[in-house]
Structure 1
Amino acid sequence: MNEHTVVSDEIDDSVELTDEESQYKFDLTFYGADYPVDGLVKRLKRGDIVVPSFDPVNEGAFDVEAFQRKFVWSKLQCDRFIESLLLGLPVPGIFLVQQSNKTLLVLDGQQRLLTLVAFYSGILNKKEFVLEHVQDQFKGHKYDGLKDDERRIIDDSLIHATVIKKTSEEQDLSSIYSLFERLNSGGTQLSPHEIRVALAPGQLMNLVRDLNADLRWREIFGPVSKKLKDHELILRFLALRYEAGGYKSPMKDFLTSFAQKYSALDQKTGEDFTKSFVGAIGLAHEIAGKKAFKLTNALNAAVFDSVMVGLASRLDKGDPLPDVEALKGAYETLLQDAKYIASVSKATAREDQVAERIGLAVAAFDGV
């Protein structure tokens, strides 16, 4: 692989890991509730229980078809789950988090709940939902074709829910974010930003989605990331560009708090964010092209956030526009600075490392 090769999702961010996250304390309250299956289905269809899509392209609160494109059981798993309910067997519980408007967001149990909605509607993945991988008495049946006693059994089956609440409305999402990570540790692994999109949807995530289509950014990053790493880097730039003074590690909690704060983004702030990103990524592309933000073959997340903040800061100075050749020289000099390289190479989420590299990058471009 030569230095110009671009590989999707090849990002050097592993150096951010620290041991401080093992000291994390959960500031949440919990209570249990038993829901009948037919009641769960009604609540899902009304939007009282929300299945997250983990995808900022989907703006609807409950888009089953879009959700299933990425997270769906096999037909065998769906059939066996419905069969367990028809047989009166116990099934695993679900985890819900209460939102400020009293809706319940599904943290764990998405596949089970979507399977129920699909069975009651009679459609699974655009096909008729007919039971196949089940005992003979249920084979070929749909919900509407069940005998009255079978329908009552599944309607009245109870699924236990653990409902999680924040201790106050002003509390940030870090506790719920960390719980989400733990609950989704098996099966299809969610990326940090997929979880963030689920917990803090809104105007900021929509803006990040739009900025992600910038052609200069796409040439630098490469193919669109299936795990939303490109979205997360844009959010990271915005967060450190506008809130660096309040940065506290770990980085993932900082980004989640920023996403929560600006979820209801107003037009003026959105325009400022757009101008800042578009201007900085344009300069970075002029300076280094496809090789921007790379110390090796991989895009370095710490180089990205610091250089982008440095370039955006320089653009804030206004006219005259900086000379591209002079900026290129400043960029190359920065990448040879031993202090800077140390700050982007180890423990890069630590507060002192973040402050060090951003300070050096801002200073490098300030005089150009």
Structure 2
Amino acid sequence: MSQVAEFQYNEEELAEEFGFDDAQNESDSSEFNLKHISDIVVYGTDWTTETILNQLNRKNINLNPRFQRRDAWTIKRKSRFIESLILGIPVPQIVLAEKEKGKYLVLDGKQRLLTILQFYNKSESPNNNFKLKELEFLSNLNSLKLQDFENNPLYSQYLDALDNQTIRTTIIKNWQSENFLYKVFLRLNAESTPLSPQELRQALNPGKFTDYIDDQSIKSKGLKAIFTKQPDFRMRDNQLLLKYIAFQYFLPEYRGDLKNFVDKTSKRFNDEWEKKQDNIEETIQKFEKAVEMTIRIFGEDNFSKIWLQDKATYERQRNLSLLDTILFYFSDAEIRQKVEQVNKIKIEEAFKTICSSSPDFISSVKSSTNTITNTHRRLALWGKALQEVLEIDFNIPELINNHLVFSGFR
């Protein structure tokens, strides 16, 4: 039991390796009541593929169409997963959390579940009803899809084997804390590519605002520029947009716990969606204009990257904390208007100067990025540099008694 009490995860556990120096990591310092942990029930069951498909079709397992847009597996990988089920080759377990009786959230196995749904022609995604491809053992089934198995007696044995194959499924019941599910989620992914907890947040905090953010993250031109034209299957685009909105509205409430901060933002705007919709839509437009301005200043290849003076080049990876900082100021219409009047080279040079001459600035976007101190430090340092090059005055967030103080740019 002491192992559970001592377990914590930190920012490094969420570090991303796909073209980003990820400064969006969500650390959670919450402690748990050990009595609540001891009340949790975990048990395993061997559901067949057909049973799992039935649970998905009845919406008992939450795999909504919004997730299905974020398809991470190639057709080859999907095909070989189906091949493994047909042959009875062991596959990783599915892990579900029972939200209410008979209704489940997915903690591990979403891509496997999506593959089953797609192969059985029950999905709402582009890869629905895919043809098997590059199978390793059953090459005679290459180029076939579900209807071929159903209509040709030669293949019925394979479909029967697929339908009846058992998949180990672990179910967690009686959990009392969403934070516990986050920790389970991160542990499950500790030995594989880490995933963003935004995926779990959407399941735990459904609502019109949550749906709106997901829709906008798909449509956003700015996010497409940041995430190389495609919806990010780890939902970092969704997370980035949500964090942007949270900081636009509630910066003085930030206490260094990013996960809790954006969780509360989601819950608040889901509850107040009818009143806040117009304002949030305006905020999204500010985001798009801020990204557009950032790209115009730094170029498509270099925006949101740190300047390396010793190498006379920009870092290879994007830095999302740096991007947050730049977007914060470029979201203001008057600042953008002044930027239009200044040679963009001067702004870029001011940025290069702060990167090469301020170790505090670099530290604030590279290490422990979610602390209040580093959040304030990068906003204040870049804000002052921007004031000087633009030759205008505007308010910059202050740090007073370890609280961020900011009530608008003027």
Q: What is the DSSP-based 3-state SS (H/G/I as helix, E as strand, rest coil) of the residue aligned with 2:96?
A: strand
Tell me, yes or no, if structure 1 residue 210 matches structure 2 residue 213: no
Tell me, yes or no, if structure 1 residue 305 matches structure 2 residue 324: yes
Tell me, yes or no, if structure 1 residue 39 matches structure 2 residue 86: no
Give the number of aligned pairs: 333
CA distance in 1 between counterparts of 2:288 and 2:19 reads 19
Deviation at 1:241, TM superposition (A): 2.0
Tell me, yes or no, if structure 1 residue 13 matches structure 2 residue 17: no
Deviation at 1:47, TM superposition (A): 0.9
Deviations, residues 81-105 of structure 1 (Å, cap 9, x unaligned): 2332xxxx98754210223585212
Q: Which residue of 2 aligns with 1:275?
A: 282
TM-score normalized with structure 2 length: 0.59
- Write the mapping of 1:1-368 to structure 2, written as runs, cut at 5 A: 10-13=19-22, 29-32=40-43, 34=45, 36-37=47-48, 38-51=50-63, 58-59=65-66, 70=73, 73-84=77-88, 93-99=93-99, 103-110=103-110, 113=113, 125-127=129-131, 133=137, 142=149, 159-165=167-173, 167-168=175-176, 171=177, 173-185=178-190, 190-194=195-199, 196-197=201-202, 200=205, 202=207, 203-207=209-213, 209-210=215-216, 213-215=219-221, 217=222, 221=226, 223-225=228-230, 227=232, 228-249=235-256, 251-252=258-259, 254-259=261-266, 261-263=268-270, 266-279=273-286, 281-282=288-289, 285-286=292-293, 289-291=296-298, 293-296=304-307, 297=314, 299-312=318-331, 323-324=338-339, 325=341, 336=354, 338=358, 340-358=361-379, 365-366=394-395
Deviations, residues 326-354 of structure 1 (Å, cap 9, x unaligned): 89889976874845555334321222211
CA distance in 2 between counterparts of 1:160 and 1:219 reads 37
Deviation at 1:234, TM superposition (A): 2.1
Q: Which residue of 1 aligns with 2:13?
A: none
Residue 153 and residue 234 in structure 1: after superposition, are their counterparts in 2 closer, same or farther (change >3 A)? closer
Deviation at 1:236, TM superposition (A): 2.0
Deviation at 1:269, TM superposition (A): 2.1
Q: Which residue of 2 aligns with 1:3?
A: none
Gaps of 5+ in 1: 1-8, 53-57
Deviation at 1:237, TM superposition (A): 1.2
CA distance in 2 between counterparts of 1:100 and 1:361 reads 47
Deviation at 1:211, TM superposition (A): 5.8
CA distance in 2 between counterparts of 1:200 and 1:80 reads 34
CA distance in 2 between counterparts of 1:340 and 1:147 reads 63
Whether contact under 8 Å (2:294, 2:330) holds in the other structure is no
CA distance in 1 between counterparts of 2:120 and 2:363 reads 57
Deviation at 1:252, TM superposition (A): 4.8
Paired letter, 1:306: T
TM-score normalized with structure 1 length: 0.64
Whether contact under 8 Å (1:343, 1:353) holds in the other structure is yes
Residue 165 and residue 270 in structure 1: after superposition, are their counterparts in 2 closer, same or farther (change >3 A)? farther
CA distance in 2 between counterparts of 1:21 and 1:359 reads 25
CA distance in 2 between counterparts of 1:283 and 1:148 reads 56
CA distance in 1 between counterparts of 2:30 and 2:214 reads 31
CA distance in 1 between counterparts of 2:294 and 2:118 reads 52
CA distance in 1 between counterparts of 2:51 and 2:154 reads 18
Deviation at 1:265, TM superposition (A): 6.3
Whether contact under 8 Å (2:224, 2:230) holds in the other structure is no
Paired letter, 1:356: R
Q: Name the % identity.
A: 21
Q: What is the DSSP-based 3-state SS (H/G/I as helix, E as strand, rest coil) of the residue aligned with 2:105?
A: strand
Residue 303 and residue 268 in structure 1: after superposition, are their counterparts in 2 closer, same or farther (change >3 A)? farther
Whether contact under 8 Å (1:119, 1:143) holds in the other structure is no
Residue 309 and residue 100 in structure 1: after superposition, are their counterparts in 2 closer, same or farther (change >3 A)? farther
Whether contact under 8 Å (2:97, 2:104) holds in the other structure is yes
Deviations, residues 257-284 of structure 1 (Å, cap 9, x unaligned): 5445545661442322232342355256
Whether contact under 8 Å (1:93, 1:159) holds in the other structure is yes
CA distance in 2 between counterparts of 1:50 and 1:308 reads 34
CA distance in 2 between counterparts of 1:232 and 1:276 reads 15
CA distance in 1 between counterparts of 2:225 and 2:157 reads 61
Higher relative contact order (CA 8 A, sep 6+): 1
Paired letter, 2:185: F
Residue 243 and residue 77 in structure 1: after superposition, are their counterparts in 2 closer, same or farther (change >3 A)? same
Residue 133 and residue 255 in structure 1: after superposition, are their counterparts in 2 closer, same or farther (change >3 A)? same
